[in-house]
Amino acid sequence: MGTDPAFFGLLAERGGKPVGYLLYSYVYDVDHAARVLHISDLYVREEARRQRIGTKLMSAAAGAVSQVGGEFVIWEVLNTNQSAIDFYKSLGGRFLPKSSYMFWNPEDPT
pLDDT tens for residues 50-67? 999 999 999 999 999 999
More confident residue, 103 or 19: 19
* pLDDT band, very low/low/confident/very high, at 1 (cuts 50, 70, 90): low
Residue 10 main-chain phi, psi, to 5 deg: -120, 135
Round to whole Å and give the CA distance between 106 and 57. 34
Round to whole Å and give the CA distance between 26 and 47. 30
User: What are the chain's domains?
Assistant: 8-90 (3.40.630.30)
Model pTM above 0.85: yes
* pLDDT at position 106: 86
* pLDDT at position 31: 87
